[in-house]
Amino acid sequence: MEAKDIRLGKAKFEDWTDLYVNIWSRPESTRYMLWRVTENEEEAKIRIEKSISWQEAHEAYTIYEKKSNQAIGFAGMTEIRPHVWEDTGIALGPDYVHRGYGKQVLRLLMERAASLGAAEFICSARSQNTASKALIASCGFSYQYSEPKTDPRDGTPYEVEFYGFTFPQC
């Protein structure tokens, strides 16, 4: 799947270096996510093997910047009930934010969901994550509800906001 500046594809082993440098080793990338920083290259090689396996079996993708052909992040979605798809996260390396890439990724996921028969698409963001909430709103989503959660990494409570988009019916 392709947009103006990025493409979504399935991970390859050689992506481990880009992903390690661009996102996995970057603490700021984990701030609103549920994964931990990858500490070294050996961990990155293990992580890419897991990513390849996961992506093969799910609607999950590596994000590639077209002009550099580097792996710069990952994104995915899952069908939570018939015809309702939900994002499983969009993560871009900190050097690749504020370029419109997130919007391109979300629109590609929405297009993919529509092609799979989605009637609705759900996105979520931590209440403090103003950038993600702005991205979601810019793609036409409406606030639905909030839910308290606990970060499994450190036990910190937080609030998740859920937003919905209903696809036009033919």
Q: Is the dihedral of CA 131, 137, 139, 143 positive or negative?
A: positive
10 Å Cβ neighbour count for 91? 20
Q: What is the pTM of this model?
A: 0.94
Question: Using CA atoms, how far apart are residues 64 and 4, in angstroms rounded to an integer?
Answer: 11
pLDDT (mean) for 61-82? 98
Q: Per-residue pLDDT tens for 94-152?
A: 999 999 999 999 999 999 999 999 999 999 999 999 999 999 999 999 999 999 999 99
H or E element at residue 157: strand 157-166
Fold for domain 6-166? Aminopeptidase (3.40.630)
Going from N- to C-terminal start, the domains of the chain cover 6-166
Q: Per-residue pLDDT tens for 87-110?
A: 999 999 999 999 999 999 999 999
Give me the half-sphere count of Cα atoms (radius 13 Å) on the Cβ side of residue 71: 21
Q: Does the structure show a pLDDT above 80 at 169? A: no
CA dist 136 → 82, 87, 102, 103 (Å): 22, 11, 9, 8
What is the C-alpha radius of gyration for the chain, rounded to an integer number of angstroms?
A: 16
Nearest of 133, 123, 121, 113 to residue 1 by alpha carbon: 113
The one-letter amino acid code at 15 reads D
Q: What share of the chain is helix, strand, coil (3-state, %, to 5)?
A: 35, 35, 30
